[in-house]
Amino acid sequence: MAGLALAQAAEASRIRAFDAPRPASFAERGVAVAFTTPGLALARLRYDGRERHEIVMPNLADGRGVYVAPWASLSEIMSLTVHDRMLQQLLARDAVLDPETARRAQLRIALRGFAGADAADAAPRVLASDTRLATAVNLALMVQLIHEGGLTSAEALQAAETGRAGAEFRRALACIAERAGLAPIELADRIGALSHAVAPFGLADPRPAGRLRRLARRVGALRAALVGWARKQGGEYGDIAGLCAAAAGEAAARCGEILHGIDRRLSSPIPILRAWPRDRRFFEEAGQRLAWMLDGWKRAVVCWHEVAEATRPEQELVLAAIFRALPVLPDEADPKGAGLDLALSYRRLMRRHCRGPEPAEPAQGAAEAARRMERANLHAELL
Amino acid sequence: MVGAEPAPAMSRGVQARLAEALLLTEDPSASDSLRAAEISAWYRSGGADPLAARPRARPQLPSDGPTPFWLFCVPFEDMLDSTGADPTRLPQEAVRACWRAVEGRVAAEPGETLEWGLAALAEKARLDGTDLDPAAIDVIGGRWWPIWQQSLTSAIADARAGHLEILVGRNGRKLLAEAETVAAILRLAGPIQRLKGLLGPPPIAHLSSAQKSAIRSELESLGRAHRREVWSDPRIVAHVVAQRLENPAELFVMTAQLELGAVSEHGKRLGEAREPLILARSAKQLAALDEMPPTGSAVPEIIAACEIAAGALASAAELEHHGASAAYLRELARLQEAFAQRLGTTIMPVLRAEIVAPWQDGGEDARSDAAGVLRAEAVARGLARLTRSTAPIGAETAVRPQIAALLDEIEAIVARLAEGLKAAADRGETAVGSGAALVNAVRTLELLAGSDRAHALVSTHAALLNAAWAEAERDIVV
């Protein structure tokens, strides 16, 4: 019996092929951490099987493959910046490594000054904008509930003009609390908790959009820009731009589906509030899925934006970098295999164009490259 | 200016440039051209080292628009010299003589057509509010440079046969060699203009890999043609284009590594001028360093100028493997020494002061002065770059000890800030500013000494920093 189980486990179909066209899961793909060591510009961080960090470096030295190195031995390959060492130390404290924990760690390291004085200045603003977004979502949900409580926009305006706004709003919210079977104070607390859970992606237009929703739009815009560039320029870089655009389009479409589900759920907030925190998990998981879908696209958006008006060789250089670190969706995000063709095309194209173009200017020192990465990371966070 | 004499009301350089402007914009056949040349020469000969810096004469655009003489000079615009003392350039006197020889031989009607074409070009630039279109200049020039070259070649032949007296200088010296050089350049005006277009307007600090590749392929293509037809020696093109570069040796080294066919007489003659050209350019760069005010605001320019000078001196030394003379190498060693000396005594103190400036007043306010910290970091990055670029010429020996002292100074700053953190912790207070200033100092140290030493420093003070960060981040949701 045990022999049969072993034989079944060893069947080729059950073993993941070493040259699979895309990673099995987001965790296997790793997190696109905002490193500043030039050698890690395209790298991702992930846990190995023994709860230790390892780094995944695509296209190292213009090669086709993906290099995996334990973090602990990385300093034997390259000189890591103090920023990256401190960031990894902070990340190693968390058992979970995902884009959201990485973002929080990056902001904490920036706040401490390791990403430069400008990033240290900007980090509190970024964190404050997260908080402001939760407040804006809270207000937007309140307005929605006041309307659902029976107060039309015209009535709300009239109440505000005649000084009866507080009383009328309380009355409408009390009506909602009654329908939800909650005390008014409990309703306010649950709206606050829901707002906090919703803040990373925010609400549908015209209400406040969260950073993930904004980023998903940016990825959609990147897709359009790359499609335009590919049509205009053609050639081998046209093919590369076309493929990057397809990957961006796929990520944006998947994000659109997730956001659609969230928005549909939020269109009737009373059942959510009544059963809160039952749906907290739904929103948190949706946020996590969005963050994973978008992981790695932020730097692509920033890099392409920076060369929008640049010369074609400069654009090709950036396009090659985007291409080499293209965040292809893993099997986990595409169980039906709809994006498998894209992954296969990516592998084929990578075999042909794994070697990027030579930069027009001679390579400057590591310090200059690290500073450019710091600035790009800062711009990405301020998107 | 460091250690210089008080400047006269109008500096010698300004007066010389004025004289050149007069010289180059007037009608070359006018009788008073001699006066302008004399003025220029007088200002230039003021006890100057023949290899010292000189402003380059250019065929400046006359105020009434481009003239045929101006167009004639365009291919060798970077080689014009009004002193007659610079062996790397074409004396103004010879260029004028060539023009007079050519002007008389080209029929009047095409000449008028040329003037109309140039006038139309100037009018278009005036209406568009732009400079003259270089591509349009090349189109017009492409028609006329071969005509002028043929005309000049036949004039030279007549002069050699004794039928023509026009190619003779003021003191009766025959200007045939110079005229032949002008003719050779006019013959290769097309490739020269193509490469100038590729390089862009001067100053050109160094060649990018794309520029090197394009120059290489242009020179190799000319070399192949040269092996079939003697007249297209690529060395002539290289020499003319090198005049445009801040680092001419870079191009000469590249040229020396290419298979360009047999060297022509003009190529040989111009090749003899490569060493004086390189040395003159480096001497000029060193002189420019002395002109820069040793103040914080000038630091980015100072670093850039040092990098250019170091790059030029390093490339110049590479010619050792390509037939450089002993005198050249001796002079180069002297210039390298002079550069190292300037770097150590004049430049480094300025850079050091800029780098430690954010921590001069205790440093606790370093967090609030983000711009000052970023400025200091930029200077530290520049210094790190400079150290690398000075290594090939051995000048880093002038920099290393001072960097070591600077690193000790930064470590002392870190220690002082850590003491502040500890004292605050002992009092039950927090010193958020000291923590941020300490990290900023560590970042500066990282730029100059590498991340291992910087990280060791952070690890040493980790407990104090963690306490300060915990306090600072208590009220911030991360």
ipTM, 2 dp: 0.84
Nearest to A107 by CA among B75, B81, B141, B469: B469
Judge if the upstream peptide bond of residue A124 is cis by omega within 30 degrees of 0.
no
pLDDT at B18: 36
In chain B, the number of structural domains is: 2
At how many degrees (to 10) do helices A117-148 and B370-390 cross? 140
**B300 Cβ neighbours under 8 A, 6+ residues apart:** B378, B382
Q: Is A82 on the interface with B (CB under 8 A)?
A: yes
Instruction: Tell me which of B130, B155, B187 is where a domain ends.
Output: B187
B214 contacts in chain A (CB < 8 Å):
none
pLDDT at B24: 37
Nearest to A287 by CA among A177, A202, A171, A170: A202
The mean-pLDDT minimum among A18-22, A44-48, A84-88, A183-187 falls in: A18-22
Q: Is B323 on the interface with A (CB under 8 A)?
A: no
Site of tokens 């005509």:
B147
User: Torsion-angle region of residue A77: left (phi > 0), alpha (psi -120 to 50) or beta?
Assistant: alpha
CA distance B42 to B85: 12
pLDDT per position as a tens digit, A343-381: 888 888 888 776 666 665 555 678 888 998 898 888 888
- Asked if B206's CB is within 8 angstroms of A80's CB, the reply is no
Mean pLDDT of B7-33: 38
- Asked if B450's CB is within 8 angstroms of A116's CB, the reply is no
Q: B103 in helix, strand or coil?
A: helix
B322/chain A closest Cα distance in angstroms: 24
pLDDT per position as a tens digit, A105-117: 999 999 999 999 9
Instruction: Tell me which of B187, B203, B238 is where a domain ends.
Output: B187
> Which of A26-40, A360-374, B12-26 is predicted most confidently?
A26-40
Residue in B198, B368, B451, B477 to test binding to A, most A beta-carbons within 10 Å:
B451
CA distance A2 to A8: 10
Confidence of residue B367 (pLDDT cuts 50, 70, 90): low
In a domain, B225, yes or no: no
Residues 118-137 of A with CB under 8 A from B: 118, 120-121, 124, 127, 130-131
Q: Are B191 and B175 in contact (CB under 8 A)?
A: no
How high is the mean pLDDT of chain A? Answer: 86
Would you say residue A259 has pLDDT above 90?
yes
Would you say residue B42 has pLDDT above 50?
no
In a domain, B367, yes or no: yes
Mean pLDDT of B180-206: 90
Q: Are B241 and B196 in contact (CB under 8 A)?
A: yes
CA distance A208 to A194: 14
Confidence of residue B39 (pLDDT cuts 50, 70, 90): very low
Instruction: Tell me which of B128, B162, B187 is where a domain ends.
Output: B187
pLDDT per position as a tens digit, B216-235: 998 998 888 877 775 678 99
The mean-pLDDT minimum among A126-140, B16-30, B32-46, B84-98 falls in: B32-46
Mean pLDDT of A288-300: 94
Alpha-carbon Rg for chain B, nearest whole angstrom, is: 29
In a domain, B251, yes or no: no
CA distance A308 to B396: 40
Q: Is B212 on the interface with A (CB under 8 A)?
A: no
Residue type, B280: A
Q: Is B290 on the interface with A (CB under 8 A)?
A: no
Q: B117 in helix, strand or coil?
A: helix
Confidence of residue B33 (pLDDT cuts 50, 70, 90): very low
For chain A, what is the largest distance between any 2 Cα atoms, rounded to a whole number of angstroms?
83
pLDDT at A223: 96
CA distance B304 to B302: 5
Please give the structure tokens belonging to residue B215: 């120059």
Structural domain including B175 reads: 1-187
- Asked if A107's CB is within 8 angstroms of B478's CB, the reply is yes
pLDDT per position as a tens digit, B283-342: 999 999 888 887 777 899 999 999 999 999 999 999 998 888 999 999 999 999 999 999
Q: Are B413 and B478 in contact (CB under 8 A)?
A: no
Residue A295's Cβ-count burial label (10 Å; 0-12, 13-18, 19+) is: buried
Nearest to B296 by CA among B176, B213, B207, B378: B378
pLDDT per position as a tens digit, A206-254: 888 999 999 999 999 999 999 999 999 888 899 999 999 999 999 999 9
In a domain, B134, yes or no: yes
In a domain, B4, yes or no: yes
